[in-house]
Amino acid sequence: MMFGRGKSGLSKPEKVDSLENLKYLYSVLQKNRVVNEHNYRILVEAVRLIAEMLIWGNQNDSSVMDFFLEGIFWNIFYNL
């Protein structure tokens, strides 16, 4: 399992299409601000899932888009 409970204590939310899941993915990006050979697969998967969440959120839940467009999340996403 790529995302799960690890040393950080993070656990992936059960509901994939939710604001809680986007917040979880945000925490993955926060903990991996520098891309290296050890974390690049996790970051690629996190960015892929975020893209899916944004498409879903745009059509179904405006709070997902609102959270993403907050400056902090956008800044981390942009700097990867």
Mean pLDDT of 9-32: 80
pLDDT tens track for 33-80: 899 999 999 999 999 998 999 899 989 998 988 888 876 777 776 776
In angstroms, what CA-CA distances link 55 with 3, 20, 43, 69?
Answer: 21, 16, 18, 13
Rounded-to-integer distance, Cα 56 and Cα 80, Å: 22
Mean pLDDT of 16-39: 89
Residue pair 36/80 in contact (Cβ under 8 Å)? The answer is no
Location of structure tokens 């697969």: 41
Query: What is the model's pTM?
Result: 0.72
For residues 21, 43, 33, 19, the Cα torsion angle rounded to the nearest 10 degrees is: -10
* Domain boundaries, given as residue ranges, for the chain: 19-79
CA 10 to chain centre: 12
